[in-house]
Amino acid sequence: MKSLAPNANFGKGKVLRAQYAWEDSALFVAVCLDGEEWTLRDTEIFDPRYDERDRERRIKERVRLGIRRVFERVYGLAESPWGILTGVRPMKMVHSMLDRGFPPEELKVLLREVYALSPKKADLLLEVAAEQRPYFHPDPNNPIGIYVGIPFCPTRCSYCSFAAYPLHTHGHLLPAFLEALHAEIAAVGSLIKERGLEVEAVYLGGGTPTTVQGADLDRLLGLLREHLCTATTREFTVEAGRPETLSRETLSILKANGTQRICINPQTMHEPTLQAIGRRHTVEEVRTAFAAARDIGIPLINMDIILGLPGEELPQVRQTLEEIADLGPDNLTVHSLALKRASRLKKDWEQERIAQEQGEAMVDLARDYALSWGMSPYYLYRQRHILGDLENIGYSKPGAASVYNIQMMEERQTILALGAGGITKLIAPDLTLARQVNPKCPAAYTAQIRGCLEERLAALRRHFSSRY
């Protein structure tokens, strides 16, 4: 119930009753709240393409749908474009159904009827799935992907939830952090060689990796290429992120080390908002960094924007998109701001409704621009308390999609994460997942990583040995 209506205040003496029963080759579900009753008879659940686990899950989904429907009637809860798909990775469910042999047209009907998605969101999921599926490999453990986390940033943005420590307060930790990271890169590299693994994509993220500059950056990128890239590595991304870190010298080092993709993330091209959210760079710096990156010959550039930033409505979003149109990136990633949880039920739901209308208009506007640039959506995910219950979408020009983003999001490929805040995802052949988490704090990472490297490598060896 909390996931369907996160801001709801329960415990007011009303009784919610949910029941299910198997009757005449059908699942019968009834949900009742405050005199409002919702019932459903589901026969599709007996489709032979489902197994027992699917049927158990379907019972929960049907009850969720019933609860959602009675909440809509009793509390005026707004219909959500995402229906009962409240998880952060709606694509995983779609891929699982496609794996089972449900053709897209049939799946579209199920997305509408079982998951209560709006037609627009059902279409979006199928569109993204079609883009992604050619990137999937039969073996989730060869090739693999690599993530390396650098937890430093020039300043901390007010909305940030990542491992990001401002250089002016934590910069003294950088040298020791880099030494520890070099040791981890060499150790994981030796394991990759020992197991004969191929690495499909390397992603240097954070934080802002380009807070590492000059000879330190050159050495770091050189070690990544030497130890972690293999003959078939097709993508090397550096999430440059903050434009104020992108001098011509830094961009030249990225280029000289084979960086194929960088992210220059303005979030907004509206100067007052940039200052309000603590970015401390200017719109002009975004333009300058972008032009320099093109001039130096970085092949692909992604730009991130955030919809729903404080004080921004449609005109500011349009201005941002117009400015980005002039620059012409190869990818556009459109985030919807995650809203903070508020306390009062009715007020919150009204706010949600307003946010939903405005948010949808912004999302549609961004989509219109991206499509007009010849891009298509290629990955998406959701967050809790996201603006208007919307989503984050990555758009790409043809042939420019980030394979790392797809594999990381869909969790069909083992990703080894190094550096601070990295989460290694070990994928079993049945696509179940085990995680290993590196400390977020650079001081903790530096103190711990050498001591636990052997144990970590042993766990990785076990994983890669047991995969057949």
Please identify, among the stretches 70-78, 118-126, 205-213, 325-333, the one whose residues bind ligand SF4 according to the rule CB under 6 A. Answer: 205-213
The span from the CA of 241 to the CA of 247, in Å, is 13
Please identify, among the stretches 150-158, 171-179, 230-238, 427-435, the one whose residues bind ligand SF4 according to the rule CB under 6 A. Answer: 150-158
Nearer to ligand SF4, 314 or 437 (CB): 437
Cβ proximity of 425 and 435 under 8 Å: yes
Per CB under 6 A, does 242 bind ligand SF4?
yes
What's the min distance (Å) between Cβ of 465 and ligand SF4?
36
Nearer to ligand SF4, 195 or 440 (CB): 440
What's the min distance (Å) between Cβ of 421 and ligand SF4?
10
What's the min distance (Å) between Cβ of 401 and ligand SF4?
22
Please identify, among the stretches 89-97, 138-146, 201-209, 374-382, the one whose residues bind ligand SF4 according to the rule CB under 6 A. Answer: 201-209
- 17 backbone dihedrals φ, ψ, rounded to 5°: -120, 125
Nearer to ligand SF4, 90 or 422 (CB): 422
Cβ proximity of 176 and 414 under 8 Å: no
- Taking residues 50 to 89 in sequence order and writing x for each that binds ligand SF4 by CB under 6 A, - otherwise, the string is ----------------------------------------
Q: What is the 3-state secondary structure (H, E, C) of the chain?
A: CCCCCCCCCCCCCCCEEEEEEEECCEEEEEEEECCEEEEEEECHHHCCCCCHHHHHHHHHHHHHHHHHHHHHHHHCCCCCCCCCCCCCCHHHHHHHHHHCCCCHHHHHHHHHHCCCCCHHHHHHHHHHHHHHHHHCCCCCCCCEEEEEEECEECCCCCCCCCCCEEHHHHHHHHHHHHHHHHHHHHHHHHHHHHHCCCEEEEEEEECCHHHCCHHHHHHHHHHHHHHHCCCCCCEEEEEEECHHHCCHHHHHHHHHCCCCEEEECCECCCHHHHHHCCCCCCHHHHHHHHHHHHHHCCCEEEEEEEECCCCCCHHHHHHHHHHHHHHCCCEEEEEECECCCCCCHHHHHHHHHHHHHHHHHHHHHHHHHHHHCCCEEEEEECCCCEHHHCCEEEEECCCCCCHHHHHHHHCCCCEEEEECCCEEEEECCCCCEEEEECCCCHHHHHHHHHHHHHHHHHHHHHHHHCCC
- Taking residues 152 to 171 in sequence order and writing x for each that binds ligand SF4 by CB under 6 A, - otherwise, the string is -x--xx--x-x-x-------
Residues between 414 and 443 with contacts to ligand SF4, criterion CB under 6 A: none
208, 259, 260, 316: residue in contact with ligand SF4 (rule CB under 6 A): 208
Nearer to ligand SF4, 122 or 220 (CB): 220
The span from the CA of 416 to the CA of 437, in Å, is 10
What's the min distance (Å) between Cβ of 151 and ligand SF4?
8
What's the min distance (Å) between Cβ of 371 and ligand SF4?
27
Nearer to ligand SF4, 186 or 443 (CB): 443
Nearer to ligand SF4, 64 or 242 (CB): 242
Nearer to ligand SF4, 116 or 148 (CB): 148
Nearer to ligand SF4, 3 or 169 (CB): 169
Please identify, among the stretches 202-210, 245-253, 363-371, 435-443, the one whose residues bind ligand SF4 according to the rule CB under 6 A. Answer: 202-210
What's the min distance (Å) between Cβ of 281 and ligand SF4?
10
Q: How many residues bind ligand SF4 (CB under 6 A)?
A: 11
83, 207, 266, 419: residue in contact with ligand SF4 (rule CB under 6 A): 207
The span from the CA of 260 to the CA of 234, in Å, is 9
What's the min distance (Å) between Cβ of 338 and ligand SF4?
12
- Taking residues 317 to 356 in sequence order and writing x for each that binds ligand SF4 by CB under 6 A, - otherwise, the string is ----------------------------------------
90, 140, 241, 377: residue in contact with ligand SF4 (rule CB under 6 A): 241
Nearer to ligand SF4, 67 or 157 (CB): 157
Nearer to ligand SF4, 65 or 153 (CB): 153
The span from the CA of 375 to the CA of 303, in Å, is 13
Nearer to ligand SF4, 166 or 258 (CB): 166
Given the rule CB under 6 A, which residues bind ligand SF4?
Answer: 153, 156-157, 160, 162, 164, 206-208, 241-242
